[in-house]
Structure 1
């Protein structure tokens, strides 16, 4: 919102001595008299960002009122200057009676209006021109310009009609009708509906909710009598009407944010005062004010102890009451520990005790609330993990999988025995559990010992029916059943799989989806707070390039790519998670808060040549163990084995990320650490350091 500084000065006056004016407005050494003289001529445009809930500050008087409270509390000698309003002398009123009616509708709270006669439409005085032009409003004529002036001055929208074009002496506010069209002043024809709130005379609609008028009732140079009206509607209702009809007017902007219902009559009186001053018009009617259910002040109990708890500082009762008085908040009653106050209706943002405390802090001064100098110790341990129950944890993990595009499947725990199931049971050193009275004597007669085979059936079933589906993502939680040392056992697993078709001329061993699946698992770990996990190679009979992800030296997840002979020539990447172990980890974990470092991260790359038997995980754990203070992250940047390298060797390019919590790391410090890492890799792992600039 852009406002004129000179216009704002008309409503608030601050008594500053010459020294303070020099401090606030000028450089040292300039003549104060020239400053005062120049500020009367020159103007400044202030760009204010006012939040939508502060509709009381969307006018010059509202801003001045708020500044007055702030400056007065800070000890400035200041006056709040109220706009001049002429006294209404009933002897001079040439009676013209009209009535206002509401149809049964709770959305319209108040409607007020009056009629003026002997109007002369002409150009506005220069002072109004200057005020409006200073904020980008184009002058039209004296009546429209005064209405704009009062709207920005007091924040109350006012609409005007040519009174001679109004039929009858009745104004009716009711809902619109179907198949009724409205010619609005923006030259658009709008169809009304029952959801609209319309101001009617006895025959036709005059205005849509006071935010846009009928073009046929606009005033012109021939107009002699005018009707001035102002209305207060439910702000939400105004917003809905504005959106439905795509109306963007200044009236809508103010009414949908909420105006001061108690200022409506004063705004009409102020408008009359200015029109009388310029045109010497006559008032032809009393102000008819229809306000059946007045909007009351909001009653709030304010506790002194609550103010101290929120602000962390004791403010004297005298200062609190002074702030409330300056904010025009009425103290209804006072007790030893609390106040009962009435908040004026124009403060729509103050409805609760916490809102009052915020206002007290705003006027008192946020800069006066000192933060404790005690250093906070990090990390901060808290109670057990937020998601304590298994059901809550499951909901979080499943929601994350669905967000990644996975679909949940449910398979029968009864499967058919095959060579593959027997091979897996033999590998796991377990026995299958057979069903004695199977419904299907020739097929499904064993309890599953792995979720894998149900996944294979599901992928096969869906691939036949969804030929265009290039990639399928599934997950399932379920129990497996097995016999070990004559003991019947069951265990819960969560399995995740990604299946994709092998395209023509594509290498079968494409492991991009392997890293996609591993990345999903790592994202789940990050969400539920699992850190410091490791990985080693696994030797699953049906998986190639498979790994175990371990936590505290115990297997948590097995992950790999299914062999071709059981995957039906598809790329299927499969992970099986020990669900019960996962739940126990999460429930035992503590939430720890560690603040981000204020200092930048530095990155260095290192290329090494090692034996094929050495995995990146071995390198990662070795470096992490030996040098962990300043290295925050270690990532594999590139991997290569093949041409131009010895058969028994492979190449890794590794990225190291350095960060300190106490200062910016210098090149010298980082170079020392990198040199130490190079020596460790040479001595312990037999690595050869390669020149990164000569790779490939």
Structure 2
């Protein structure tokens, strides 16, 4: 967006500021200049305005913002508002009123218009030509130039029609009918649809939302009477139209923004004033016709003093806060010792919340005045290091719910089942039978959460649940007898059931394993190992050990149990998990300021060698610069011996003392290769 400094000087007066001071102040809002006011030449600044700051997309908007900063910092400046026409006149002489018709629709906020007669279209005065030329706008004639001047001055879109070409003296704003033809000035026709907002007269379309006019309705050198319209439509509607029809015009950024509905009348009054000045008061004009069915209420916000301090990080006096609000034209409706109740001006369409007001206070106060401390304060990542079991349960349950799991609570009494007998015999457990059960079909106390989880999943599918994937979790107790002792243990069961197979058949397994690893990360559990599971009811399962003690059992139910659906299940020893978390201590390890490097290694090993075995072997080998090892790819099959499989492993190197050179990393990689060849009889295939 191009801004003329001489143009801005018309509004901010006087500016008796040194070169360095004005340079520093303008830098705060994106403008940097040298010797701006010590010479008579104009300076054109190409500035970038963030899309939310629509109030600053004009010369007066930038001047108003600059005035606020200068005034707060103690400079003696005044803000001169553009002069507008305030004459109260009768309707146009010998002209019938024009009527505006607009359906009550949330798309249309406000539409204002005025008729001007006895105009003479001729070249513009020098001052107007030079103002527009300074920002790259070519002069056309005095009427069009005045419209462009007001748009760049106030940031309000305006359009103009030849009044004598408006059929029926009617302005009708509505959505186009599908297939409507619209003629452009470059002999291109557009096909409009019902989503396009169009300004019609009683016969034909005059303009697409005021953005681009039908050449028939445009003014020319013979035009004597004009109608000027100033509209406020919802910005998303305008953006859709511009995108749909690939419309590109110089004032596009003004139409696409969220306009101030209270600016439409001011823009017309300003336009009339300038045309009168140019025409030496030899024009006649009507009263402004204003259609504003649902006036927009000003946002009202509760601004708390303690919130300002906590957000900014510094205590700003109440007097300074009120001064900033006053300069920003924010009205204080009510105040007490704890908060202010304020009303935001309509042109600040970006200020809608308390935090937005605080941002404005900080911006005017100056972020450079906020002390930056040398020490950085950050919260700990592991938030579940609490002492009580309830707090741990709450944190981990919230985590599972965030992953899309639903908690279930099932009965502790289950039916006698041959698979439960298989399960108990494998773990050397004996079932506990209730002598006088409430339901004779459920007379055994469950020895695992597995079977109640299956019953719940079956119930959901049998009752027409449409989800293709069901995710459940349950925290519950299991009961069994071992060596003549009655025991009860608490487990956290997590399951994923897939009704119709989606994607890779192993995807749910790896997803569930990832959920378990996220729970471990949240709990601060790092040094765990995994081995192949020997669980009698799970296939291709793994057991996760911590300090050589089983913590998790994970795998897929065998097909003999569930023939239609697949269930992937993980069972966590809850009491053991809680005890690990409660013993954990928070330790801080600073991040290395040196970069990490990655090397990939492809190797051929025997099928019996698991990645975990390889991982543990490498970890035991003392190499302090290896920070992480990840499996990148696993391949078995064609072009490989039957007894072999291929791993691609990624090694991540990092030092806390220095930047690692290629020489150091290559030496370390050679040591790893030699070690793997010796311990696993691996064959190196490729390294990168």
Taking structure 2 as the reference length, the TM-score comes to: 0.69
- In the other structure, the counterpart of 2:236 is 239
CA contact (8 A) 2:303 2:341 kept: yes
CA separation in 2, counterparts of 1:46 and 1:192? 38
| Contact 2:176/2:198 (<8 A) preserved | no
Structure 1 residues 638 and 319, CA, compared in 2 at 3 Å: closer, same or farther?
closer
1:132 Cα shift? 4.9
2:93–2:284 Cα contact (<8 Å) kept: yes
Residues of 1 paired with 2:199 and 2:122: CA distance? 28
Deviations 1:233-286 (A, max 9, x none): 4x54x5347647947678886466433344433322332344345555733234
Q: Distance in 1 between matches of 2:589 and 2:398?
A: 26
Is 1:397 aligned with 2:391? no
**How far apart, in 2, do the equivalents of 1:530 and 1:134 lie?**
65
Q: C-alpha displacement at 1:364, in angstroms?
A: 1.7
Of 530, 542, 546, which residue of structure 2 is paired with 1:547? 542
Offset of residue 162 of structure 1: 1.8
Deviations 1:191-232 (A, max 9, x none): 668xx987676787766765566665332343210112223x
Matches within 5 A, 1:18-33: none
1:345 corresponding residue in structure 2 = 346
Q: How many residues align?
A: 655
Contact 1:119 1:223 in 2 (8 A): yes
**Cα distance, 1:101 vs structure 2:** 6.6
Q: Judging changes above 3 Å, is the alpha-carbon distance between structure 1 residues 177 and 545 closer, same or farther for their aligned structure 2 residues?
A: closer
- Does residue 371 of structure 1 match 2:372? yes
Q: Secondary structure at the match of 2:311?
A: helix
Deviation of the 1:411 alpha carbon = 13
Q: Secondary structure at the match of 1:308?
A: helix
Which 5+ residue runs of structure 2 have no aligned equivalent?
27-33, 459-467
- Deviation of residue 60 (structure 1)? 1.6
Residue 147 of structure 2: aligned partner: 147
Is the partner of 2:553 in helix, strand or coil? strand
Q: 1:424-481, CA deviations, whole angstroms, 9 ceiling, x for partnerless residues?
A: 432211235789999xx9x999888667799999999xxxxxxxxxxx9876657897
Q: Is the 8 A contact 2:552 2:573 kept in 1?
A: no
Mapped partners of 2:83, 2:58: distance in 1? 16
Hey, what does 2:311 align to over in structure 1? 310
Cα gap change, 1:206 to 1:610, in 2 (>3 Å): closer
2:512–2:570 contact (8 Å) kept in structure 1: no
Instruction: Indicate conservation of the 8 Å contact 1:112/1:264, yes or no.
Output: yes
Matched ranges for 1:204-603 at <5 A: 210=210, 216-231=216-231, 233=232, 236=234, 239-240=236-237, 243=240, 246=244, 254=254, 257-278=257-278, 282-288=282-288, 290=290, 306-317=307-318, 319-329=320-330, 343-374=344-375, 376=377, 379=380, 382=383, 393=396, 396-397=399-400, 400=403, 422-432=421-431, 483-484=480-481, 485=484, 487=486, 494=493, 518-519=513-514, 521-522=516-517, 525-526=520-521, 530-541=525-536, 547-559=542-554, 575-578=569-572, 580=574, 584=578, 597-603=592-598
Q: How does 1:153-164 map to 2 (within 5 A)?
A: 153-164=153-164
| Mapped partners of 1:140, 1:445: distance in 2 | 94
Deviation at 1:58? Answer: 1.4
Residue equivalent to 1:463: none
| Counterparts of 2:199 and 2:496, CA distance in 1 | 64
Aligned-pair CA distance for 1:633? 1.4
Cα distance between partner residues in 1 of 2:337 and 2:559 = 82
CA contact (8 A) 1:447 1:480 kept: no
Q: Distance in 2 between matches of 1:393 and 1:34?
A: 63
1:383-440 Cα offsets, whole Å, 9 max, x none, are 65799586885575376478xxx9x9x999967855x7654432211235789999xx
Q: Which residue of 2 is the match for residue 635 of structure 1? A: 630
1:48-79 deviation line (CA, Å, top 9, x unaligned): 13222x22111121112212222344455656
Report the more deviating stretch, 550-559 or 385-394.
385-394
Write the deviation string for residues 106-129 of structure 1: whole angstroms up to 9, x where unpaired. Answer: 856654333222333455567656
Distance 1:586 1:113, change over 3 A: farther
Q: Which moved more, 1:198-207 or 1:596-605?
A: 198-207
- Specify the SS of the correspondent of 1:657: strand
Go from structure 1 to structure 2 and tell me whether the alpha carbon gap of 1:542 and 1:316 turns closer, same or farther (over 3 Å shift). closer
Map 1:120-131 onto structure 2 (within 5 A).
120-122=120-122
Aligned-residue RMSD, C-alpha:
6.4
2:118–2:282: 8 Å Cα contact kept in structure 1? Answer: yes
Distance 1:473 1:104, change over 3 A: closer
Q: Who is 1:60 aligned against?
A: 59
Pairwise CA distance, 1:548: 1.4
Q: CA deviation at 1:601?
A: 1.1
> Following superposition of structure 1 onto structure 2, how do residues 164-183 of structure 1 map, counting pairs within 5 Å?
164-166=164-166, 176=174
Alpha-carbon distance change, 592 to 178 in structure 1, aligned in 2, over 3 angstroms: farther
State how far apart, in whole Å, the 2-side matches of 1:515 and 1:36 are: 70
- Give the TM-score normalised by structure 1: 0.68
Distance 2:6 2:681 in 1: 72
**1:282 alignment partner, SS class:** coil
Aligned residue number for residue 30 of structure 2: none
* Maintained 8 Å contact 1:431/1:482: no
